[in-house]
Every structure is written in structure tokens, then in C-alpha cells.
Structure 1
Amino acid sequence: MWRETVSRAAGLAACLLLGLMPAGPASADPLGPHRLGRPATPEAIAPWNIDVRPDGAGLSPGRGGVAEGRAIYAARCAGCHGEAGQGGAADRLVGGQGTLASSKPVRTVGSFWPYATTLFDYVRRAMPFDAPQSLSDAEVYAVSAYLLHLNGVVPADAVLDAASLPAVAMPNRDGFVADARPDVTEK
């Protein structure tokens, strides 16, 4: 008991000496006692608040089809992902159906991803690699349509928008199990 008390006191003293714990009451200043950063205003957060949920919540206005997507993909995506999404310097995006239970699964948009909305979210947020978030919403819908077409998920004349994209049934939609942890919920 005595050793625990001494050890706790020594730890607290070390934290105070190193300045890791506040010496007094919490500061009411939004920048904190060290005056670092700036307050996160709704205007500052809005450009980063672009997530899209599986049910389509967060999808933006716009529309794009397979034909437009083919041209955009050739210009902005093929350099990394290969001409037909079969792979290049970056991950393969097409194929892999039926391989997930094999010893060498091929995880692509068409074989692994459970939601088409996730494709839109990822492309809009992170692609192209050299210029993330540079595609317009219409271009993201078009590239998504093209990739889904290459994977045999939508027909060649498909045009996607905020209403049709969440309705796309991905081949591996039911390939995931529910997560029973209380902090993980599907919305």
C-alpha cells in the first residue's frame, strides 16, 4: 500500500513538473491555456464534412453515367489503376468475384465492397491520388458508374445520382457480419 501511494505521488509530481497536467482550473478560452489553433466553426468544418453513409445520407446533387465515367477514368485514374481497372501502380479495382473464400482473395470494388455509396465516398474524398477532392460531384458519380459497370454491377447505360446510387445491390452486400460491439452501429 505504501509503495503504491509513493509511486502515485511520484507520477503526479513528474506530470506536474513536465507540464502535462494543468496547474489550475480549465481555461474558458477556446484556444486553451497555450493559445494554439483556432476554434472549429461550422464554416470551417463544412468542407471536411463530406462523408456518405451506406443508406446514401450525405450524397451530393449531381449525376453521371458510364460513358462520361469512361473518359474521366482514362484521363484521371488509368495511370495508377490500369486501363480497365485491372491494376497498375495502385490497387486493382475490377474482378475478383468468387475469390473471397479462396486462399488468395482478390478484394476489389466488385468483389468485396458492400455498398456502392462507399465507392462514391472514397473517390470523392481521396481520388485522384495526386489531387484529392478535385473531381466534381458529377465526375465522381460518372467514375463510380464506370467502375460499377466494369465489375458487372450496373449496365452500360447506367446513370447514377443520389437516388439511384444507394439502390445499387453490390455482389458482396451480405458478405459481412454484424458487429455486436455497442460502439459500432449501422446507420
Structure 2
Amino acid sequence: MINNRAVYIVLGCAVALLIRCNPADKIPSDEPVQRHEADWSDGLATYEATWPEKFGIGRPADKSFIAKWDIDVRPDGKGLPKGEGNVKDGAVVYQNKCASCHGVNGYEGPEDKLVTDSTGRNTIGNYWPYATTIFDYVRRAMPFNAPGSLTDQEVYDITAYLLYLNGIIQEEYIITEKTLPAVEMPAKKRYILDDRRGGPEIR
């Protein structure tokens, strides 16, 4: 049978030995950290010196590539392409390319709800401040499985349909690059411009 007292003695000696071998007793506590940081910086500089001028990854962005991505639309409508959309055609496009994620009526899911219902969740109808945001986001990011695949015509039609489903425009209203910025969103009054001064400003 193992003697418990002997076990305690052995463990005590082991702990004492580890304490005596601890280099922290011989070197100030902050010195190892400073030395480590210096070594790391020197090593990084040496490593960066080995980098080639170019890594051979990707390709230069030509004008056509940039034009494909430079499609942002501002709240005042700047950036909208010429075109028009209507609710009737938008309903067809929506059912074919949007309903599987957002529901037949825009609020069943399984993904984000687009149309205001009794749950009070944030949707286009009660949260978005600018109608132009609908066009910009749909054209840039939808449908989820093929973003950027919709034509401008389809995006205009979907935008009209979503505004109609949220009770913001009438069924006969035609969405164009001129009429879309004029649509007053119900939530716009909830937002204010950041006109603070005295700190970093982004304009």
C-alpha cells in the first residue's frame, strides 16, 4: 500500500523544484514580454523583406470591371438607370425569383420579411427610409443564389411590387428613375441627418 505521507512529500518536492527553476525569479517580469515583442517585430521586418513586388494574384481592374460594381444608388436617385417598372410585372418576377426565400406574400419567410405584418418586425414598409434603397439592394445582392443576375427591368418591377405590397404606392403607379426617388417612405421621419460638429466627420 502506498503511504499517503510519502506521496505528499514527493509532490511537495516537485512543486518546490518547479518554483526554483522558474526563470521569472531571475528576470524582471516585464523583460521577457518586451524581448518577445522586439524579436517578433524584427522577425516580421525580415520576413517582409522577402516579399516580391507582386504576388501574381488576381488581375488589374479595367473600366468594364469597375463599371459592373460601381452601381450604387443614392437616396436622391443619383445612379438609377433609365427604365420603368410596374406592379403587375413585378408580381410575376417576384414569384419566380423571390418567393422561395421571402414567402408568397413577402412575410412568410423562411428568410427576411419584406412586407409589414402583425408581428411588427422591421420590414421595407416600416423601417427603410428611402425607396431607392430597394432598387440598390435588390440589384446588387438578390436573388441570394445568383446576386447581380436580375436585369434593371426586373429590379424596377420588383421594386414597384414590394412598394405596393407594403401599401406605399398604388397598383397603377409606374416606377422610373424619376418617380422612385419621389416616393415618400413611412419610416423616413424616424431618421435624422448627423449634423454634429467637433469630431471626425464623414460626408
After TM superposition, the score normalised by the length of structure 1 is 0.79
CA distance in 1, matches of 2:200, 2:78: 22
The one-letter code sitting in structure 1 at the alignment partner of 2:152 is D
Question: Which residue number in structure 1 is paired with residue 28 of structure 2?
Answer: none
Unpaired runs of at least 5, structure 2: 1-30
For the residues of structure 1 that align with 2:110 and 2:34, how far apart are their CA atoms?
Answer: 57
The structure that is helix-richer by fraction is 2
Do structure 1's residue 163 and structure 2's residue 178 form an aligned pair?
A: yes
Other-structure match for 1:122: 137
One-letter code aligned to 2:44: C
Q: Residue type matched to 2:94 in 1?
A: Y
Residue 80 of structure 1 aligns to a residue in which SS?
A: helix
Question: What is the match of residue 24 of structure 2?
Answer: none
Residue 10 in structure 1 maps to residue 28 in structure 2: no
Question: Which ranges of structure 1 fall in alignment gaps of 5 or more residues?
Answer: none
Residue of 94, 102, 108 corresponding to 2:115: 94
What amino acid maps onto 1:83 in structure 2?
A: V
- If the length of structure 2 is used for normalisation, what is the TM-score? 0.74
Cα distance in 2 for partners of 1:169, 1:142 equals 18
Partner of 1:61: 82
Letter in structure 2 aligned against 1:67? K
Say which of 28, 40, 57 aligns to 2:61: 40
Measured in 2, the distance between the counterparts of 1:22 and 1:44 equals: 32
Structure 1 residue 127 displacement after superposition: 1.2
What is the distance in 1 between the residues matched to 2:99 and 2:156? 17
2:169 aligned with 1:154: yes
The CA deviation at 1:41 is 2.2
**Aligned residues of 1:65 and 1:158 also touching (Cα < 8 A):** yes
Q: Which whole-Å CA distance do the structure 2 matches of 1:165 and 1:39 have between them? A: 35
Matched residues in 2 for 1:144 and 1:33: separation? 43
1:182 to 2:196 alignment: no
Pick from 168, 172, 179: which aligns with 2:187?
Answer: 172
Q: Secondary structure at the match of 2:175?
A: strand
